[in-house]
Amino acid sequence: MLPKVSIIIPTYNCPYVDQAIQSALHQTYPNIEVIVVNDGSIVFNEKISPYYGRIRYIEQKNGGTGSALNTGIKNATGDYFAWLSSDDLYVPTKVHEQLTFMEKMNAAVSYTNYYLIDVRNKIISQPISYLFSSDVQFYHFLTRGNPINGCTVMMKMSVFSEVGLFNETLRYTQDYEMWLRVVQRYKFHYLNRPLVLRRDHDAMNSKKYVNGMIKENEWVRNKYRQSLVTLITKEVNP
């Protein structure tokens, strides 16, 4: 039987959520479940209701992206976790290509490239990627920031039982902090394919909450700096 992939879509007052749901439902890979977690939205809920029969829909009080992702994970029945922001899109072959790659590499976690799109879904960038020549170079970059777009990640659900769920106290960097826990146990495998369309618009968190993101990034870096130094040392002096 084909492994099941759980695509979790956290949403909060997002006018693009219907497009995200459509892109998840239109995956070429057949064995998926789409879980939409409404994180206390008060507008645009009518964009979700037409899909009730094809998705698993959960409502909760507003708790942030990390909280919504955790709710989705706790209710998921899949073998693999995938995350899709409600303003972004998957290309139709995203799940199939990435899962095939992971099975070939015997990977527990992987990530890919992505394109930027505008509010009309027009691609406005070349494929965005971070190419690392070695694990050491990857670890060094992680000491400075997060090179991984969360929506490009696919991960075995079993990883959460070892590293825990997303940190709900972090409003903007819950992904960065999660990857820093995962990387201490698993290798991140990189698929050089642009499989996500990341929407660039004025309401995105990375533009609205710059100061909050800077403070959280600093906290995360300081917390995990020594762990990353240890990983680097083990690679350089095995």
SS3 assignment, position 87? coil
Q: Could you report the per-residue pLDDT of 61-118, keeping only the tens digit for each?
A: 999 999 999 999 999 999 999 999 999 999 999 999 999 999 999 999 999 999 999 9
Q: Report pLDDT for 207.
A: 60
Judged by DSSP in three states, 8 sits in strand
Grade residue 236 by pLDDT with cuts at 50, 70 and 90: confident
Residues 182, 109: contact at Cβ < 8 Å? yes
181: left (phi over 0), alpha (psi -120 to 50) or beta: alpha
**Average pLDDT of 139-148?**
96
User: What's 67's DSSP letter?
Assistant: H
- Binned at pLDDT 50, 70 and 90, residue 210 comes out as confident
Prediction pTM value = 0.96
Q: Which has the higher per-residue pLDDT, 92 or 130?
A: 92
For the chain, which domains are there? 5-236 (3.90.550.10)
114: enclosing H helix or E strand: strand 109-117
